[in-house]
């Protein structure tokens, strides 16, 4: 495994390679990341995993500073997974002191998570574009847990004509259904026991949508009340079109339920995609 720390070394190393797959991460790797990497290695022997905690996508300095940093453990995991290339740049190597240009996204980026984390997706996609330009992958792998992020990256690649195939990988879950996330380690023992409530509630909502027992708005409001009553702080629970992330029209049959809510100081997101 070759660990690369600078842009110049990365470009020099990759310029002679073809059929490159890219897995971007912010470190603190878990089984969800493992799955992305395993799927990438099925496609090509040239896989690049990046570890970069992107300051542009955090809405507070405290959140950025509290994000788990586990570089030694991460490199050990990547070594065991037989990853050939790992890119671990410094902040200064990716972001210049005068970084003022960012990606401008469609209005849907300001809804759902974007409504509660202003500028978040602009920060995500700005760094993703930088990494795409440096690595020039043929394939890039992203988890479906971050459904809105995946949707926006697919649109970005399409509209900016990047010659990259974006591959979404299904969410990996813990024994009780909780979606694997780097933030799960920040949950208290008590809140970890409660954390699976979000996924379980979404499954109930899915059944209600399929059975058409109530309107979408009524289902959303009932779910929000249920979580808030159980000690969560809900940002949103929304039933949307999986194709557009807008409110489904009357004949829509490809649905996604998305949610974001906090337990204590830890914000969790999840979704369920299905057809009716």
Question: How far is 266 from 103, CA to CA, in rounded Å?
Answer: 27
DSSP string, the chain: -EEE-SHHHHHHHHTT--SEEEEEE-S---HHHHHHHHHHHHH-SEEEEEE---GGG-SSHHHHHHS---HHHHHHHHHHTT-SEEE---HHHHS-TT--------GGGGSTHHHHSTTHHHHHHHHHHHHHHHH--SEEEEETTSHHHHHHHHHHHHHTT---EEEEEPPPB-TTSPBP-GGGGGS-HHHHHHTTHHHHHHHHHHHHHHHT-S-HHHHHHHHHHHHHHTT-EEEEEEEEETTTSSPP-TT--EEEEEEEEEETTEEEEEEEEEE-
Run of H or E including 102: none
The pLDDT assigned to 100 comes to: 77
User: What are the sequence ranges of the domains in the chain?
Assistant: 2-169, 182-270
181 phi, psi to nearest 5 deg: -155, 150
DSSP-assigned letter for residue 172: P
CA distance 245 to 256: 8
The tens place of each residue's pLDDT in the chain, 276 residues long, gives 999 999 999 999 999 999 999 999 999 999 999 999 999 999 999 999 999 999 889 888 888 888 889 999 999 999 999 999 999 999 989 987 777 778 889 999 999 999 999 999 999 999 999 999 999 999 999 999 999 999 999 999 999 999 999 999 999 999 999 999 989 999 999 999 999 999 999 999 999 999 998 999 999 999 999 999 999 999 999 999 999 999 998 788 999 999 999 999 999 999 999 998
Structural contact between residues 151 and 121, judged by C-beta atoms closer than 8 angstroms? no
**In a 3-state reduction of DSSP, which class is residue 27?**
coil
Q: Which of 217, 178, 180 lies closest to 201, judged by CA?
A: 178
- Per-residue pLDDT, 103: 85
Distance CA 181, CA 32 (A): 8
Token digits for 218? Answer: 């009524």
Q: Is there a catalytic annotation at residue 33?
A: yes
16 CB-near residues (< 8 Å, 6+ apart): none
Q: Which of 33, 104, 120, 250 is catalytic?
A: 33
User: How many Å separate Cα 135 from the centre of its chain?
Assistant: 19
SS (H, E, C) 195-225: CCHHHHHHHHHHHHHHHCCCCHHHHHHHHHH
CB-CB neighbours of 145 under 10 Å: 21
Architecture of domain 2-169: 3-Layer(aba) Sandwich (3.40)
- Kind and range of the H or E run holding 141: strand 139-143
Residue range 182-270, CATH number = 3.30.1300.10
């Amino acid at each position: 495994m070759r660990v690369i720390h600078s842009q110049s070394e990365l470009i020099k190393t990759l310029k002679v390679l073809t059929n490159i797959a890219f897995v971007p991460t912010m470190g603190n790797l878990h089984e969800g990341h493992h799955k992305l990497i395993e799927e990438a290695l099925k496609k090509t022997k040239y896989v690049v995993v990046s570890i970069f905690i992107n300051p542009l996508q955090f809405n507070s300095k405290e959140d950025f500073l509290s994000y788990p940093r586990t570089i030694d453990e991460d490199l050990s995991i990547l070594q065991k997974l037989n990853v050939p290339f790992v890119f671990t740049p410094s902040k200064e190597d990716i972001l210049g002191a005068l970084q003022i240009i960012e990606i401008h996204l469609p209005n849907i980026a300001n809804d759902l998570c974007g409504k509660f984390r202003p500028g978040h997706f602009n920060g995500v996609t700005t760094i993703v574009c930088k990494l795409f330009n440096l690595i020039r992958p043929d394939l890039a792998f992203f988890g479906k847990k971050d459904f809105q992020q995946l949707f926006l990256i697919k649109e970005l690649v399409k509209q900016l004509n990047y010659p990259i195939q974006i591959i979404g990988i299904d969410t990996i879950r813990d024994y009780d259904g909780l979606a694997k996330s780097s933030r799960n380690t920040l949950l208290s023992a008590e809140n970890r026991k409660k954390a699976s409530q979000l996924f379980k509630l979404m499954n109930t909502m899915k059944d209600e949508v399929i059975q058409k027992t109530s309107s979408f708005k009524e289902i959303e409001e009932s779910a929000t009340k249920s979580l808030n009553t159980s000690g969560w702080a809900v940002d949103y629970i929304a039933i949307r079109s999986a194709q557009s992330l807008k409110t489904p029209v009357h004949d829509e049959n490809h649905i996604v339920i998305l949610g974001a809510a906090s337990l204590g100081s830890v914000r969790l997101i999840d979704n369920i995609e299905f057809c009716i």
